[in-house]
Amino acid sequence: MTRNGGPFRPRRTPRSNPAPEQPRAQDQWARDHIRDIQQNGFAAFRPLGNSMFPLIRSGQVVHVSECGPNTLRGGPSVGEIVLCTVNHRHYLHRVGAVFGAVGTDTWYRIENAAGHVNGWIQIGDIHGVLEP
């Protein structure tokens, strides 16, 4: 018996080998575009949603090109819109802040147009940058 009078229930121990996370259906839209960027260096598509309004309208054609330390362009700067992965989810959102030295140790804060922060990522999670 516990203090509240209920039966004692031992804590569940986590599995040593958790099942791999299944891809989410809502993230499927970005997989083909990420593959195009990796193979061709660019992709053009029409994202849906209003998280980046008024910078990007739902259904507007956007052109995303490759970026990163191995490209001539380098990493994105504050205010640029990037196609990225944050916590296993894909976003076409803005870089809100950059922390650290330029290179692989740099961290990027990803946020929507209203300033909601999605998280911090490194350059390896940024797949491309929106062309003006």
Give residue 42's domain range: 25-130
Q: What is the pLDDT of residues 29-56, one digit of tens each?
A: 889 999 999 999 999 999 999 999 999 9
In a domain, 82, yes or no: yes
Give the model's pLDDT for residue 17.
52
In a domain, 13, yes or no: no
Q: How many domains does the chain have?
A: 1
Cis peptide before 54 (omega within 30 of 0): yes
Q: What is the pTM of this model?
A: 0.76
CATH number at residue 29: 2.10.109.10
Q: In sequence order, what are the residues at sequence separation of 6 or more whose Cβ sits closer than 8 angstroms to the Cβ of residue 79?
A: 94, 95
**Residue of 131, 100, 103 lying closest to 120 (CA atoms):** 100
Is residue 101, in this structure, part of any structural domain at all?
Answer: yes
Residue 19 counted as domain residue: no
d(CA 45, CA 128): 13
**Hey, which bits of 2-125 come out as E strands?**
42-45, 62-65, 81-86, 89-99, 107-111, 117-122
